[in-house]
Structure 1
């Protein structure tokens, strides 16, 4: 139901048949009917656009009771730029009336839709418990200043396996698996971003919104691989990260990984790139945590015959960032594990990619050495994302071939052995201290 507004479709990016444009007056409202299977707390996600620089606040009521007064709905930069504002409120079993009422003479924002998560308290969801993250010392800390470990999955290249990243699979990842973070792997070359920047940027925007709806952190992976020098793509990276950070700057669940696996490039070259790119993101999203890949394909230099000492002796001149490490347990054993152990004592580290197989993401699983790594990461609260959330033919893809064409992603029947193993370890309870 709409009063004091009209349904329109003259700005791009909306979903469905249009959006509601409030009249420029207080008192206009949009009312949604929400049916809940059981009474309980719910997260109400209002997707909106506000092309002005001033807030367009509304009061959110449920069944005639105001549950959130003056929700700000700040500017999004353009009427075609959409964000999500969330409110938590109790719902009754059965039919509920959720109303968003404008409170100022400017009216409300353009409202696209309402997404409702019912039955699980919002405080149980990782990104809503922990809020805006920051790097404190060598740890990733939540809004309470407490070190935490995030655990999750990386997509495969979204140019090849977008069919594996859809509502049913993400519901399974957040609910059945108990993940905390989704790594969005956007290749730059290899039929990726450079072939169609608009398409791939929009895919990333969509995946960030999907992660947000499920209370997950969204890790945006600039998956440069060949060429291995990230400086070769710096102009593209500036364009991409400027838009993504500007659109999602009001979210507290977005992390930026600006260089996947630098290779055939010196640490000094990576450092130079990072010191140029981190300010690009900070200009749009000042509080965001940024990740930077290390030399030797994310090995802290070991695969190049170097070591983490290159980084220790010449650290990146920035704050609120982490270095990344990758390992494949069947290939990367004692020398790599020792480097990680040394580095973790001195540097902020996040494992943005690992597998239980060889470095090709295929072959036999070495679950014993994988467990050695995971035990260390847990003991030191070092976060990780596993490669990869797809039905690729390789052993490192968690789903059996053909799974992504369907709609069933829960349980173990659809999983390869590596998928069963990693799901079991992700389902153990999180430790997210709040005091």
Structure 2
């Protein structure tokens, strides 16, 4: 049994009351040796190792995977053909990683065994070293298949890095595959096609306490049974977290990012500073951590960086100063990554500090491609918090990185009616969210019944508390994820 700590949220401002309830810690860091889940049969195929007609394998543009990429000749009919095995006949999602440094589409016809072609646009990515993904849904017969991507215009195809084949996602592209590299456009989070989207998912509990709840079977369930778009990786800085063993916790985060990536989810890396509440107190640690994480995962298109979880007992000016120092740290490694910044008053837009969102609107962070975060617990944070969110949503980009259906302690009774009021507003305004929390903690805010994480069954509703049943049900109908 891992030690459990009470995450207390007082009505004028949440705080952490670190109450040790057990003495033995279990650290179950994910490793690259995790078994590939049977429900998500994913294989990767490097373009430079495939059959190439009218093109060359090159390595002169940074950011590719494997040993290089294929540069198509500027000719109609140039192609790359992959040999792909399928254990059984059925639908599959093809995800092509590519770069197109022009401003126009470089469309290709994608065929399986010479059959009917599926047209894929491959829009411009802004630079030949900027890599994104494009998807196609096909049916693969059992056995060996030839998947060919053929240029259909005289400009040829894009630079093609690799093909990922997923035979576990029936007829629908996975969230991170469809949406690709995110960016902030106006006050919305937009996908690679410039279309506003809403991501929905779950937050882990503190990984120093509940890593046993984040494993192959639970993540398979989150991706396939729940239909989550995003996994928030909650890494506390204090409270027995990062500062006690930076190497171990950084490696845990690396592992969780890879597991989210394998399942087509976005990975939201949460620097969960809480006490001390001033993020500047941990800025040296934050620089070290985010430099490594952004450098390691810079070529992925599914990473989001949250640099300050719940600033508290600190002015908005102090948070702004911290953010304007930290955002360039990430940009130096990952120029395209979206960054989240917590707002004052424990992520309440200042309300829990007796302030308002006007502090932010009147003194915004001097950066681009970032969003402000908001937290609420629906049984406690009602009209004053909700109306602040309403006022702010049209003025600044917001993502709800943490909320619960119960009280500010993460426990107590659920107010599903007020929770639905929040979620309706978030859906109407394309504001993404992650729910607290994906564990079997004894509190009502943990979605699993106590003891669930010791087992291997995480699908369906029998293992869920009422809050878990409710939030799973609202996650299973995906956003439409427009691509045009």
Q: TM-score range by the shorter chain?
A: 0.7 to 0.9
**1:161 paired residue number:** 210
Distance in 1 separating the partners of 2:233 and 2:185: 24
**Counterpart among 173, 177, 198 of residue 247 in structure 2:** 198
Q: Which range is displaced more, 408-417 or 121-130?
A: 121-130
Give distance in 2, aligned partners of 1:329 and 1:188: 26
Question: Do structure 1's residue 36 and structure 2's residue 84 form an aligned pair?
Answer: no
- Give the match for residue 225 of structure 1: 274
1:183 corresponds to which residue?
232
Q: Which deviations, in whole Å up to 9, do the C-alpha atoms of 1:172-226 show, x marking residues without a partner?
A: 1111111111100000011111111111111111111111111111100000001
Q: Which of 181-190 and 118-127 deviates more? A: 118-127
**Distance apart, 1:96 and its partner CA:** 3.7
Q: 1:363 aligns with which of 412, 426, 429?
A: 412
1:263 to 312, 317, 324: 312
- Tell me how far 1:124 sits from its aligned partner: 1.8
CA distance in 1, matches of 2:249, 2:443: 24
Q: Distance in 2 between matches of 1:237 and 1:327?
A: 25
1:40 Cα deviation after fit: 3.0
SS of the counterpart of 2:184? strand
CA–CA separation in structure 2 for the residues paired with 1:428 and 1:352: 19
Alignment length, in residue pairs? Answer: 380
Does the CA contact (< 8 Å) of 1:323 and 1:349 recur in 2?
yes
Structure 1 stretch 425-434 or stretch 408-417: which is displaced more? 425-434
Q: Contact between 1:291 and 1:322, CA under 8 Å: does it hold in 2?
A: yes
Match of 2:375 in 1: 326
1:173 paired with 2:208, answer: no
**1:13-412 superposed matches below 5 A:** 15=33, 34-43=85-94, 92-96=140-144, 117-120=166-169, 124-412=173-461
The change in CA–CA distance for 1:35 and 1:406 in structure 2 (over 3 A counts) is farther
TM-score, normalised to structure 1, is 0.79
TM-score, normalised to structure 2, is 0.71
Alignment CA distance shift 1:98-1:208 (3 Å): farther
Determine helix, strand or coil for the equivalent of 2:195: coil
Q: Residue deviations 1:382-417, cap 9 Å, x none?
A: 000000000000000000001111111110000000
Q: What residue ranges of structure 1 are gaps of 5+ in the alignment?
A: 1-12, 17-24, 47-60, 66-84, 100-108
The gaps in structure 2 that reach 5 residues or longer are 1-30, 35-48, 52-65, 67-81, 98-110, 116-132, 148-160
Q: Is the 8 A contact 1:39 1:119 kept in 2?
A: no
